[in-house]
Structures are given as structure tokens and as C-alpha cells.
Structure 1
Amino acid sequence: MNWAILIVSGAMEAVWAVALERAEGFTKLIPSIIFIVALAASMFGLSHAVRSIPLGTAYAVWVGIGATLTVVYSMVTGIEPFSWFKVALLAGLVGCVIGLKLVHGA
């Protein structure tokens, strides 16, 4: 269950990262509210997950999920240019996150 919470909180990290960019220095109300709610949910989920998942592993998985989803979203929406090199690097990052999960169980 804690792994599922960690994955969702990693996704919430991507939500708050995108909302932070859209908030334009907290001058836009709705993106600012989304940022605050997603940030709180993300931090709560991470804090819950580290009760049973080692901190280093949980943090790396959380950041990896958030970073990957943020970059993918940015490329899909045109915020940043698409690159196959970025896709390959993201695949490596996802592979490392999966590896951390597998090593945790060993």
C-alpha cells in the first residue's frame, strides 16, 4: 500500500511542478491553489511512505516519478522541445526507479 501511495505522491509532485510554472509567481489564483493542494498531497504521501520504505529509496522513487512525468508533460504540451535523447534518458531514469523497488524487496 505504501508503494501505491508513493507513486501517487510522485505524480502529485509533477502536478505541483507544472502548477508552479503556470502560477506565474503566484499571480494566477487557480494554478496557485492547485500548486498548494498538490504540494501538500505530495508531501503527505511521501511522509506516509517513508514509514515502511527506506528514506533514500522513497525519495529517489518520488523524485524520479515526478521528474519523469513533468518532462513528459512538458514535451507533449510543447513547453519544451521533444528529443529522443530525453526519452532515452527518461527510460533510464524509470529503469533505475524500478530497480530501486526491486532491490528494496530483496
Structure 2
Amino acid sequence: MSWFILFIAGVLEAVWLFGIQKSEAFSKFPYVVLALVAMATSLLLFSISVRHIPASQAYIVWLAIGAICISFVDHYFFNHPITWQQLFFCCLIFVGVVGIKLSKG
């Protein structure tokens, strides 16, 4: 369950970054609220997950999931292209996250 909570925390990293981008320098209040709620929830879920996952592993996974998700958010919501090379390396990051989960080190 801790890994699932950590995954949701990582996805929320992308949500708060999306909110900041859409807020246009904090001028659109609903997006500011979205960013703040997502940020606080992400940190809360991250702190819950580190009760059962070593902090070093949890941080790497949290960061990796957030980075992959924001790449796709940028592509779908802000029309930033994703090259095949970027997609390949996102897949490598994903494989690394799965490897960390399976290693249970």
C-alpha cells in the first residue's frame, strides 16, 4: 500500500506543476488553489509512504514519477513535443522505478 501511496504522491507532483503553469504567475486563483492542494497532498502522501519505504528510495521514486508525469502533462496540455529519445529515457526511468520496487533493498 505504501508504494501505491507513493505513486499517487508522484502523480500529484505533476498536478501541482500543472496548476502553477496554468495559474499564469498566480493570477488565476482556481489554478493556484489546485497547485497548493496538490502540493500539500503530495507532501502528506510522501511522508506517509516513508514510514514503510526507505526515504532515499521513496524520494527517487517520487521524483521519477513526477518527472515522467509532467513530461506527459506538458505534451498533452501545453503542446510540448516529446521526441522518441525522450520517450525512451522516460521508459528507462520507469524501468528503474520498477527495479527499485522489486529489489526491496
Q: Residue 6 of structure 2 aligns with which residue? A: 6
Instruction: Give the Cα–Cα distance (whole angstroms) in 2 for the partners of residues 15 and 100 of structure 1.
Output: 24
Instruction: Kindly report which structure 2 residues correspond to 1:1-106, keeping only aligned pairs within 5 A, or say none.
Output: 1-104=1-104
Task: Please list every run of at least 4 consecutive aligned residues from structure 1 whose deviation after the TM superposition is greater than 2 angstroms.
Answer: 76-79
Instruction: Give the Cα–Cα distance (whole angstroms) in 1 for the partners of residues 2 and 88 of structure 2.
Output: 28
Q: For structure 2, list consecutive stretches of 5 or more residues without a partner in the other structure.
A: none
> What TM-score do the two structures reach when normalised by structure 1?
0.93
Q: CA RMSD in A?
A: 1.1
* Count, aligned residues: 105
Aligned-pair identity (%): 32
Instruction: Give the Cα–Cα distance (whole angstroms) in 2 for the partners of residues 67 and 82 of structure 1.
Output: 13
Q: How big is each residue's C-alpha offset from its partner over 1:56-106, in whole Å with a ceiling of 9 and x where there is no partner?
A: 1001111111110110121233431121111001001111111111112x5
Instruction: Give the Cα–Cα distance (whole angstroms) in 2 for the partners of residues 76 and 32 of structure 1.
Output: 20
